[in-house]
Amino acid sequence: MGMVMLRTIRAQQACSERWRRRGLRLGFVPTMGALHAGHLSLVAAALRNVDRLVVSVFVNPIQFGPREDFHRYPRTLARDRALLSRAGVDVLFSPAPAAMYPPGFATRVTVEGPLVAGLCAPWRPGHFAGVTTVVARFFQVVRPHAAWFGQKDAQQVAIIRRMTQDLGTGVRILVGPIVRESDGLALSSRNRFLDRAGRMAAPALWRGLQAGRAAIRRGERSPAGVRAAMRRVLAPVSPVRVQYLDIVDAETLQPLYRLRGRVLLAIAAFVGRTRLIDNLPVRVPR
């Protein structure tokens, strides 16, 4: 049986309900489309673990700030559809914004507290509320048993885990590793915005993360010291402008005063006009 594309909430609800009644295990991979090998790695992992897989392609307007790139975000639905069909996905769910957010829609699902205190949150006000709202809404419609997310968006993963636990939706959250280009650049739908100079410079994020890890392995245990090692790699690279460069506890995302346990090195930087993020979990030797 081939893949079907569904565009309405009701069609997806009916489909998920039929499958559930048959006792099938449903998987879900939410995306904003412009698919690349990172997305497809989550799809492949999901396909190995469920009976039916729904992948959404939805550029979620409410997770973009007013000065962000919602309008120019890449939209390549025909290509995405072909890739997902070939991968063996059962349903491509691609609702219109007006279907997800009909006139009068006024609800936000928000996670508060320490998980939204640092990293991307202060730089993108409202972003994670937009993400949790759309994911909660998708979970209600798709009703998956398990959903796959990428480590690329580490803070998003932590926030969604918190939300599913708090709401008791019973969706298992699974995480796939970051897929990278051969020069280390983490795959992102936004990489296509990079011009030649930007594309050449962008792997500096990955090299910065590696420099941070190397510093830890050499015995550096102060976040300031690790940050300095990362900055030494990034500072000379043009057109890279670091927005933040952080070392936090990998579990709680809280700042650390002395590095121990599992930590997360995380970077956000503008490469020209394009904002990229990357991160690297590191186990600190005892």
Catalytic machinery residues: 39
Minimum gap (Å) between residue 190 Cβ and ligand AMP: 8
Between 149 and 206, name the residue whose CB sits nearer to ligand AMP.
Answer: 149
Q: Which of 30, 27, 17 is nearest to 50 (CA)?
A: 27
Minimum gap (Å) between residue 101 Cβ and ligand AMP: 17
Q: Which token pair is 254?
A: 């809280």
Q: Which of 20, 24, 1 is nearest to 12 (CA)?
A: 20
Give me the phi and psi of 73, to 5 degrees please: -55, 135
Binding mask 146-165 for ligand AMP (x = CB under 6 A): ---xx-xx------------
Between 20 and 180, name the residue whose CB sits nearer to ligand AMP.
Answer: 180
141 φψ region: left (φ > 0), alpha (ψ -120 to 50), beta (else): alpha
Close Cβ partners of 34 (under 8 Å, ≥ 6 residues apart): 73, 74, 75, 76, 80, 189, 192
Binding mask 42-61 for ligand AMP (x = CB under 6 A): x-------------------
Minimum gap (Å) between residue 147 Cβ and ligand AMP: 9
Minimum gap (Å) between residue 182 Cβ and ligand AMP: 13
Handedness of CA 237, 243, 248, 251 (dihedral sign): negative
Burial 82-116, CB ≥16 within 10 A → b, else e: ebbeebebbbbbbbeeebbbeeeeeeebebeeebb
Residue 143 to residue 147: CA distance in whole angstroms: 10
Binding mask 166-195 for ligand AMP (x = CB under 6 A): ----------x-xx------xxxx------
Minimum gap (Å) between residue 187 Cβ and ligand AMP: 4
Other C-beta atoms closer than 10 Å to the C-beta of 194 total: 20
Whether 265 contacts 230, CB under 8 Å: yes
* One-letter amino acid for residue 113 of the chain: G
Contact window for ligand AMP (CB under 6 A) among 31-39, 66-74, 212-220, 231-239: 31-39
> Of these, 6, 32, 89, 204, which contacts ligand AMP (CB under 6 A)?
32
> Of these, 39, 137, 162, 227, which contacts ligand AMP (CB under 6 A)?
39
Between 101 and 149, name the residue whose CB sits nearer to ligand AMP.
Answer: 149
Binding mask 61-100 for ligand AMP (x = CB under 6 A): ----------------------------------------
Under the rule (CB under 6 A), what is the footprint of ligand AMP? 31-32, 38-39, 41-42, 149-150, 152-153, 176, 178-179, 186-189
